[in-house]
Structure 1
Amino acid sequence: MSAILSVDDLNDFISPGVACIKPIETLPSAPPAPSSADETEVILDGSPQAAAAAADPAQISLTDCLACSGCVTSAEAVLVSLQSHAEVLSTLDAAPALRVVGPDAAGGFSVEGLEDEDAKLFVASVSPQTRANLAATCGAHVSERDAGRMLDNLLRAPTGLAKGGRWHNRFAWVVDTNVAREASLVLGADEVLSTSGAGATAPSQPILASACPGWVCYAEKTHPHVLGHLSRVKSPQALMGTLLKTALSRKLGIPPSRIWHLAVMPCFDKKLEASREELTDEVWDGAGLPGRGVRDVDCVITSKEILMLAESRGISLFDIPGDQLSTPPPEPFPDSRLHDFLFPQRGTRNPPRAAGSSGGPLYHILQSRAAQTPGSEIQMSQGRNADVVEYLVILNGEPIFKAARYYGFRNIQNLVRKLKPARSSRMPGGRPFGSARRPAGKSASLEYGYVEVMACPGGCTNGGGQIKVDDPVVVERKNFAGKPGPQEQRDWLSEVDEAYFSGDEAWREVDASSGDVVGGISRSYIDDTLAHWSDMTGIGLDRLAFTSYREVISDVGRDKTTDAEKVVRLAGKIGGGW
């Protein structure tokens, strides 16, 4: 999805797809309620139904859409638009926010305002790609960290969203998804380089990245044969959502439905991810199976929608201060161990340029594999285009691990075609279909241990929800004479990437004396934090940190005729029959 989505703009939507699982249909009206003897029926124009209210319009939830393979464009676009800046404002204005008080002398926390059933505790998480995009939009004088402080002030400070609205509500905590990214990188490396994931069924090799929801949705609907290869580790957005909902509900003694989590992301498809039944409390606090429970991420808005959110309160994002002194320190999180994890004193950094702009799972796995074998080195070779890159970990000139990066649907289609299993020929002596170009005894790409797959060419800094070079705010600030062309688009993406990678020099490296630090991430620290999280909530990591996928099949709109019925019909057409 490449353009900003709003209910008002979507005039291309006519009806759900042919195979929609919620077709528009006319149902018989409910029987009238029995009337008492004292009631008098009023008939207008001779029709007892004239005074009845009009039928409600058909309602299709985003969960319904994800359960169907019939629609992939307009229907999903309409549903995605329901997660918007308008929903954020309406939720903030629905009731006074819950207020966390503490710690007290005993270190405990309490919650005020629970008597109002509509009151919620507001928390938010922000992606580094969004911060980089907003920094580039503000200009060269604003860094990615400055943009992060501006967002923090918008969401959390009294001078931000809280200065308007009915209840002057604000977000209690605004966290950086980079901390969840570090945890997902460690879990992902263990999944690929160990015999099995922590408490999860290990996927088949080559293991494919699953942090991109556009790619996952595409695989579930069109290429189910690759689902066994998808990484089971939750994306940083999903992992952060589960952490916030589980930790706050357990420590504060409130149900997850009273916690409202907003995620600010570079991609519209992240709204699809937030609506997955696999990412609800039904999985981690219920039967362990997907269900329509309380979502771990209640709403996702994109970088573009942040501008709309600010403007709706009469705020110019560019006028919000982004210096360190203007940003109040975070309130104490109810769990001190998780507070240190969510708000590290050293800060967080984005992966280096060699890791790309999508969080760096491939880079971390390569670095981890090289660290396992002292003396090895990593070699890179360019593929058929800039979005296909292959990597080798080599020891004494011999490859010991191979991985690749595939960005963009054009390249993804080539990848899944290679992974498609060969079909047996029905002809005597025939060769299996799809095996003509494969080496004997090998299935396609079996040599890959891991493939980083992202739907957007160029990675997540080029996500569909990012502010683009032809958006009015950029055109105005750049003073373009005409419509920006391809070169201007490339230059703009370079500016966003520059902002994304600009924090490397200012970041203080982690002490690597323990020997388990890879790319500035301590595996032992992550493992200890995850173990503490699991112990504190009483939930296993297999439910907290891992997820599942399923083939999406819809029978609606398909021919459900059995083979026997088809034979009868055919016999009737040719004059025969039973």
Structure 2
Amino acid sequence: MSSAILSADDLNDFISPGVACIKPVETLPKTDDSNPYEVTTEDKVQAQNPVPASISLTDCLACSGCVTSAEAVLVSLQSHNEVLNTLDNHPSVDVTDLVDYSRDIAPDAKVFVASVSPQVRASIAATFGLSERRAGRLIEQFLSGSQGLRLGGNKHSAFNYVFDTNRMREACLVLGADEVAHSLSGKSQTKPVITSACPGWVCYVEKTHPHVLPHLSALKSPQALSGTLIKSVLSKRLGIHPSQIWHLALMPCFDKKLEASREEFTDRWWRESNPSDTDSTPIRDVDCVITSREFLSLASARDINLASLIPLTDKPLSHAQRQPFPDPAISQFLLNHNKKDPGQRPEAATSGGYLHHILMSQQSLYPGSSIKTTRGRNNDVTEYSLVSAEGKPLLKCARYYGFRNIQNLVRKLNPTRASRMPGAANRRLAGRGEGNDYAYVEVMACPGGCTNGGGQIKLEDVAGVIPKTRGEMVGENIDKTSPQSQKEWAARVDEAYFSAESEDSEEGEVSEHGVDFDMNGYTGMKDYEDKPNGNGRMNDDGSGGREAINGIDTSSVRNLLQHWSDIVDIPLSTLCYTTYRKVESDVGKSKKEVSKMGDSARIAAIAGASGGGW
């Protein structure tokens, strides 16, 4: 699901074609073109080797057995070409004019915003031999700097803002810990709570295992939450329609394109309808998603050598090059470049640190408690137990990466059934129901986690981008297809991802405001430092104060979220949470059952809308 091309090797860790899959049959060539009435001898009959059937992402998306045909169109609409077409057809707005003078903007003008995931920065960092922070600056220079996108195109448009999704991921971690705590209290959600930030996993559950849906976290992913915040706040503060804000997300995974297409992630779900607003088309919170590899294609299409921008990454963009964000409090939170991210520590793994933060949050409630780790059958399965100072087990969590392991988890989540065998009435069958022993499970579709996403830059791509990486020749004397080379490359990307935690703050790396302040209860974080006192608390000046868990100032995050809610006058329950649903397959149904319109009209209708859904 997360792979661009599904090969026979990939099928071990991604969704294998099921019985209903018709694509392998359709792609087999017809080799018997002989005349049935012609008499021939055996020596004239030549064995013909049929071309192996291949299954591409387009094939899978065109089949309603796993992924609907409409999704193929929705994904195809999101590419680096779409980014270039949008920039070429719409001038970028000078936000300073809107903030300072409240000027009206042209109907075709847009505010361009990009949000970048840390896994994309890690992929770029490994490719160019940079630190994760400098890779982020490289991306920002290309998207917003004077030597990047604005050099070309019909309108010389570029991005007004480039945000780090880590900031909203902090909000996801805090809210995720609250969700688990609520579940443990017995007041809501069925145990265990399971991560829903991976769209490949969500798509798999919605279509094949609806009994797992009650377990999925209702929390939006960092991509979706960033999109909602950006569109809602900018439209409110600048007085413009959400359609005039164009949001690009740089993600490690193709499935994130499907997530952006869900109708739940449009302004229809959070914006009050205006009777005078004749535009009834829902506006996506994230207009386009491109992967790390597509980012390279974006630069190549504009004939920009990314390596030439590396000298500019010694320092961040200057304040003069950055346009002011119209809300100081949110600006301070989103553009705090000094802050180290706790989700990029080795113990937090490569997918955002959801499980790690929840364990830290629970451990802070039990002084003297410890965490015990048990590795599963492979590196992508790990169980964690929180144990009290007296040795009493308090809760159990787990991490499952890769579809091979996910299938085992799904089996464990099946309801317990009593055995019919004599003398075994109370025995569980084949591990059924064992998954309910967990309080929380972090699930990601890709083996190795998000740094190994299907859209990440591959080893074979590197030689065409830069001849040397960290002084080593790449792509010349290396067997790029060997498992060992691939493994070493994945380790290099992981190393770059975790380098963010070890990098020191650099001079001049502050938000555009450069001052600490308090706004509607929100405390600025310019001087934020982790100073735990051993009880899950943090002292700002050594005298006591705000609560910090896992390096996150949870009070500031909560105040920021409330400030956001107050700005747009929408409850957090609407802004931060979503829903999931069972999806019925079209396989085996007649055309009349599937749609009265027919496939072509149905796909065209969905593709014509900005919003979508699985």
d(CA) in 1 for partners of 2:407, 2:569: 41
In structure 1, what is the equivalent of residue 356 of structure 2? Answer: 363
Residues 292/408 of structure 1: CA separation in 2 closer, same or farther (3 Å cut): farther
Moved more, 519-528 or 483-492: 483-492
Residues 346/250 of structure 1: CA separation in 2 closer, same or farther (3 Å cut): same
Residues 273/250 of structure 1: CA separation in 2 closer, same or farther (3 Å cut): same
d(CA) in 2 for partners of 1:213, 1:310: 27
Contact 1:101 1:110 in 2 (8 A): no
In the TM superposition, what is the alpha-carbon distance from 1:111 to its structure 2 partner? Answer: 4.7
In structure 1, what is the equivalent of residue 442 of structure 2? Answer: 452
Listed one character per residue, the Cα deviations across residues 458-509 of structure 1 (whole Å, up to 9, x for unaligned) are 0000000000123253795412344431011111111111111112223464
Determine whether 1:535 maps to 2:566: yes
Determine whether 1:249 maps to 2:249: no
Listed one character per residue, the Cα deviations across residues 74-118 of structure 1 (whole Å, up to 9, x for unaligned) are 8745642321000000000112222212586xxx5635533xx22
Residues 392/112 of structure 1: CA separation in 2 closer, same or farther (3 Å cut): same
Q: Write the mapping of 1:341-490 to structure 2, written as runs, cut at 5 A.
A: 341-344=333-336, 346-349=338-341, 350-395=343-388, 396-422=390-416, 435-437=428-430, 443-471=433-461, 473=463, 477=468, 478=474, 479-490=476-487
d(CA) in 2 for partners of 1:266, 1:502: 18
Residues 195/506 of structure 1: CA separation in 2 closer, same or farther (3 Å cut): same
Q: Write the mapping of 1:63-74 to structure 2, written as runs, cut at 5 A.
A: 69-72=64-67
In structure 2, what is the equivalent of residue 301 of structure 1? Answer: 290
Residues 549/196 of structure 1: CA separation in 2 closer, same or farther (3 Å cut): farther
In the TM superposition, what is the alpha-carbon distance from 1:159 to its structure 2 partner? Answer: 1.5
Residues 2/538 of structure 1: CA separation in 2 closer, same or farther (3 Å cut): closer
Q: Write the mapping of 1:190-205 to structure 2, written as runs, cut at 5 A.
A: 190-195=178-183, 202-205=188-191
Contact 2:98 2:104 in 1 (8 A): no
Residues 210/111 of structure 1: CA separation in 2 closer, same or farther (3 Å cut): farther
In structure 1, what is the equivalent of residue 492 of structure 2? Answer: 495
Determine whether 1:129 maps to 2:129: no
* Structure number having the greater helix percentage: 2
For residue 249 of structure 2, the aligned residue among 263, 271, 288 is 263
In structure 1, what is the equivalent of residue 512 of structure 2? Answer: none
> TM-score, normalization: structure 2?
0.74
Secondary structure in structure 2 of the residue aligned to 1:260: strand
d(CA) in 1 for partners of 2:316, 2:555: 34
d(CA) in 1 for partners of 2:374, 2:101: 54
In structure 2, what is the equivalent of residue 83 of structure 1? Answer: 78
Gaps of 5+ in 1: 6-16, 21-61, 563-578
d(CA) in 2 for partners of 1:249, 1:183: 21
Secondary structure in structure 2 of the residue aligned to 1:389: strand
Contact 1:19 1:554 in 2 (8 A): no
In the TM superposition, what is the alpha-carbon distance from 1:345 to its structure 2 partner? Answer: 5.1
Secondary structure in structure 2 of the residue aligned to 1:400: strand
d(CA) in 2 for partners of 1:345, 1:194: 32
d(CA) in 1 for partners of 2:590, 2:68: 23
Q: Write the mapping of 1:492-531 to structure 2, written as runs, cut at 5 A.
A: 492-507=489-504, 509-511=529-531, 512-513=538-539, 514=545, 516-531=547-562
Contact 1:69 1:221 in 2 (8 A): no
For residue 171 of structure 2, the aligned residue among 183, 189, 203 is 183
d(CA) in 2 for partners of 1:207, 1:456: 19
Determine whether 1:152 maps to 2:140: yes
Contact 2:344 2:500 in 1 (8 A): no
Secondary structure in structure 2 of the residue aligned to 1:193: helix
Question: Residue type of the partner of 1:206?
Answer: P
Identical positions, percent: 53
Determine whether 1:280 maps to 2:266: yes
> TM-score, normalization: structure 1?
0.78
Contact 2:64 2:587 in 1 (8 A): no
Gaps of 5+ in 2: 6-19, 24-56, 274-279, 469-473, 506-528, 532-537, 540-544, 594-614
d(CA) in 1 for partners of 2:162, 2:426: 53
Contact 1:517 1:523 in 2 (8 A): yes
Listed one character per residue, the Cα deviations across residues 534-556 of structure 1 (whole Å, up to 9, x for unaligned) are 00100000110111101011457
d(CA) in 2 for partners of 1:18, 1:463: 24
Listed one character per residue, the Cα deviations across residues 539-574 of structure 1 (whole Å, up to 9, x for unaligned) are 000110111101011457426999xxxxxxxxxxxx
Residues 202/466 of structure 1: CA separation in 2 closer, same or farther (3 Å cut): farther
Runs (4 or more) in structure 1 with deviation over 6 Å come to 17-20, 65-68, 427-434, 559-562
Determine whether 1:315 maps to 2:304: yes
Contact 2:143 2:149 in 1 (8 A): yes
In structure 2, what is the equivalent of residue 12 of structure 1? Answer: none
Contact 1:468 1:474 in 2 (8 A): no
Residues 419/238 of structure 1: CA separation in 2 closer, same or farther (3 Å cut): same
In the TM superposition, what is the alpha-carbon distance from 1:173 to its structure 2 partner? Answer: 0.4
In structure 1, what is the equivalent of residue 195 of structure 2? Answer: 209
